[in-house]
Chains A and B, each alone.
Chain A
Amino acid sequence: MPRLTPDNTHRARDLIALYPRSRSALIPILHIAQEQDGYLTEEAMAHVAELLDLTPAEVRGTATFYDMFFTEPVGRYLVSICTNIACMLNGGYELLEHAESHLGVRAGATTPDGHFTLEEVECIALCGNAPCLTVNWRFFGDVTDERFDQLVADLRADRLEGSVPPHGTLCRVRREVGLEAGRAADAGGAS
């Protein structure tokens, strides 16, 4: 189980340089770690702790507060179905039930072939197209049972590789410039 690769370590250092205090880069760097391995490994979190001069417990303590970070492996595709109020009124629970029976796993579980992890999520802000879901945080709205089945078939056949990157890949666009205006003076004190 790997630490961050040299390229990702470089990206992490670039991120640290953007903030008045290094710890602010923790969450952005954890996204890079999750992009690298699909979830947060102990080794990667320990490496991130080294980079930020934190303890592994501080890194884990932050990571486990947030829904998007996984400390256990997940499927290649994380299918997140919203059942909050606007989706519920438009069949969100029925869609979740359909997804469970179609994939053969309950919400929270991963299919035996490791392709799909299904989860029920809170409002993902696409309520005008309820019911909605995301796959690896790429949005799909107005989802019917038929559309769901087609989506799963397309994902299995790798037909959506361009629009749905592997799990953990959040932002495929990299910042091109560092700070130009001069690093902001720190407010002082410990972080």
Chain B
Amino acid sequence: MTVSDAPKIVTRHVGNHESWTLAGYLASDGYQGLRKALSMAPEEIAEEVNKANLLGRGGAGFEAGRKWGMLRKAEPIYLVINGDESEPATFKDHMLIEQDPHQIIEGTLITAYAVRATQAFIFIRGEFALGLERMTSALNEAYAHGAVGRDVFGSGWSIDVVVHPGAGAYICGDETGLLESLEGKRGFPRIKPPYFPAAFGLYQAPTVVNNVETMSNIPWIVLHGGDTFASYGEGRSTGTRIFAVSGHVKRPGNYEVEMVKTTFRDLMYAPVYGAGIRGDRQLKAFIPGGASSYWFGPQHLDLPLDQDEVQKNGTMLGSGSIVAMDETTCMVRAAWRITRFFHKESCGQCTPCREGGGWLEKILARIEAGQGRESDLDLLMDACDNIAPGLTWPPRQTTICPLGPSIPSSIASAIRMFRDEFLVHVKEGACPHAD
């Protein structure tokens, strides 16, 4: 097992004395990235981020610099930071918002300057009460410090930032759902085209939507250079990234590791990370990139944390959340619980997701309760195939947003990997894992 010696970037202040305050932040190069950025041309900053090849850390993994470059040439331009972290088993942005709000604000300011934004909004998941309080305090401090508002640090450049609370809806993590919510509406994802908020976003104006962790990388990239960032990792997967490890590991937590140089095995078994499976039991399967992703088995443990390599193997790094499931886990129940989540969170606009999610949840529930039929397995796969034809990753879309086509991932994974376990439920008329 390897533990790379790459520096911590986005988590480097976490654990410092009162890391969430301005005093704590200034004690460790706080707002130096913004000061440097203001001495550069906006295009030079975008160039550094392009050199870094910073892939968005929200889930889709789109190049942040490219997103900025796609902005439609029109005024005003808005910048919206997505801190609506709700993908099951993802808890990294929650930590960054509570522990290092100034770093997010600094990244937001640099980005706003680079894309010539008129105003920036930091959308924080409503349930993050402490995060909202810390972010609001930090923004008050940043205004008083001269880092936000009129004539930032005497540069002549002015910008306002608004912290905006959500109100509890997974679908608002989708960028167009988030924009609708920010407009004071139900969080219904928008019909495409237009495909990108960069062309038509908030109030139909050109808008950049970036994730909280993505923003947290920006000050470091400006201070140390895009090339330095790109010297960590390999290929398109550069730099470091936070992986949230949970489930049946001994040491669940958020670990910032070097991309590509680190494997799933390292994350789950290295003593400084997951430290192995509880009770030294066997790993049965793991979710590699949030509840939306197809599952991996133990044979995939040595794959590197490389966005493209993981996709070649049929799934995704997604939101960077890894859930370890040991040999005692009932895979029918695991698939049912994830399906129940998607069904509940469906916004209801599209039939395959609204209806299909409910059907799938019910069928899985009856199998788990020992009342399933053997034909239910084909029925499940057929319904899944109607929601995401072909059952491949990335999924083919039958709905406005990716929520619906994410429902089949856990079900198809569980049936393909553990078909026998489903059949035991049917034949014995009970869950073999029940106490």
Q: In the complex the two chains form, is A86's CB within 8 Å of B89's CB?
A: yes
B62 close to A (CB within 8 Å): no
Cβ of A177 and Cβ of B149 under 8 Å apart?
yes
Q: When the two chains form their complex, are residues B186 and A62 in contact, meaning their CB atoms are under 8 A apart?
A: yes
| Contact across chains for B323 and A85 when beta carbons are under 8 A apart | yes
Residue from the list B136, B143, B246 in contact with A86, Cβ < 8 A: B246
Within 8 A of B (CB), among A123-141: 123-130, 134, 136-139
Contacts of A170 in B (CB 8 A): 126, 129, 132, 165
Contact between chains at B86 and A123 (CB < 8 Å): yes
Complex Cα distance A25/B43, Å?
33
Which of the residues A31, A125, A138, A180 comes within 8 Å of B125, measured between beta carbons? A125
A177 closest partner in B (C-beta): B143
Q: Classify the secondary structure of B's interface with A.
A: mixed
On chain A, the residues within 8 Å of B75 by CB distance are: 185
Interface string of A16-38 (1 = CB under 8 A from B): 00111101111110110000000
Asked if A180 and B143 make an inter-chain contact with CB atoms under 8 angstroms apart, the answer reads yes
Measured CA separation A96–B234 after assembly (Å): 44
CB-defined contacts of B139 to chain A, threshold 8 Å = 175
Q: Give the complex CA separation of A187 and B118 in angstroms.
A: 11
Bound complex: CA A107 to CA B158 (Å): 49
- Docked pose: A169 CA to B7 CA in angstroms: 39
> Among the listed stretches A5-13, A64-72, A108-116, A152-160, which one makes contact with chain B, having 4 or more residues with CB under 8 Å of it?
A64-72
Does B247 reach chain A (CB closer than 8 Å)? yes
Number of residues on chain A facing chain B (CB within 8 A): 59
Residues on B with beta carbons closer than 8 Å to the beta carbon of A27: 126, 164-167, 181, 184
**Which residues from B are CB-within-8-Å of A180?**
143, 148-150, 158, 160
The answer to the question of B315 belonging to the interface, with a C-beta cut-off of 8 Å to chain A, is no
Whole-angstrom distance between the Cβ of A180 and the nearest chain B Cβ: 4
Closest Cβ–Cβ distance, residue B114 to chain A (whole Å): 16
Within 8 A of A (CB), among B295-325: 321, 323, 325
- Any chain B CB within 8 A of the CB of A186? yes
Residue from B89, B169, B204, B345 whose CB has the most chain A CB atoms within 10 Å? B89
Residues in A neighbouring B126, C-beta threshold 8 A: 27, 31, 66, 68, 137, 170
Interchain CA distance A175-B252 in the complex, whole Å: 35
Q: Does A57 contact B (CB under 8 A)?
A: no
A182 x B165 contact (CB < 8 A): no
- The answer to whether A184 and B94 touch across the interface, beta carbons within 8 angstroms, is no
Q: Taking the nearest CB of chain B, how far is it from the CB of A4, in angstroms?
A: 16
User: A122-B88, A128-B252, A137-B127 given as contacts; is B76 within 8 A of A20 (CB)?
Assistant: yes
Q: A144 within 8 Å of B by Cβ?
A: no
Minimum CB–CB distance for A35 against chain B, Å: 11
Interchain CB contact under 8 A, A61 and B76: no
A123–B89 CB distance below 8 A: yes
If A69-B167, A127-B246, A187-B205 touch, whether A177 touches B140 (CB-CB below 8 Å) is yes
Q: How far, in angstroms, from A139 to B291 measured CA to CA in the complex?
A: 22
In the bound complex, residues from chain B placing their C-beta under 8 Å from that of A186 are: 76, 203
Contacts of A122 in B (CB 8 A): 86, 88, 170, 341, 344-345
User: Given that A84-B88, A182-B158, A186-B203 are known contacts, is A172 also in contact with B133, CB under 8 Å in the complex?
Assistant: yes
In the complex, which residues of chain B have a beta carbon less than 8 angstroms from the beta carbon of A86?
88-89, 246-247, 252, 323
A164-191 to B contact mask, C-beta < 8 Å, 1/0 = 0000001111111101111011110101
Cβ contact within 8 Å between A62 and B185: yes
**What is the distance, in angstroms, from B197's C-beta to the closest C-beta of chain A?**
12
Interface residues of B in 52-96 (CB under 8 A from A): 75-76, 78, 85-91, 93-94
10 tightest A-B contacts by CB? A67-B168, A26-B184, A66-B167, A181-B158, A180-B149, A23-B184, A68-B168, A127-B246, A65-B186, A187-B205
25 contacts between A and B (CB under 8 A): A23-B184, A30-B167, A66-B166, A84-B341, A85-B89, A85-B334, A85-B338, A86-B323, A90-B248, A122-B86, A122-B88, A123-B291, A126-B94, A127-B88, A127-B246, A127-B252, A137-B129, A170-B132, A171-B129, A173-B140, A180-B149, A180-B160, A181-B158, A181-B159, A185-B76
Q: A123-B88, A189-B203 are in contact. List 5 more A-B contacts (CB 8 A).
A: A18-B162, A31-B126, A85-B341, A125-B94, A179-B160
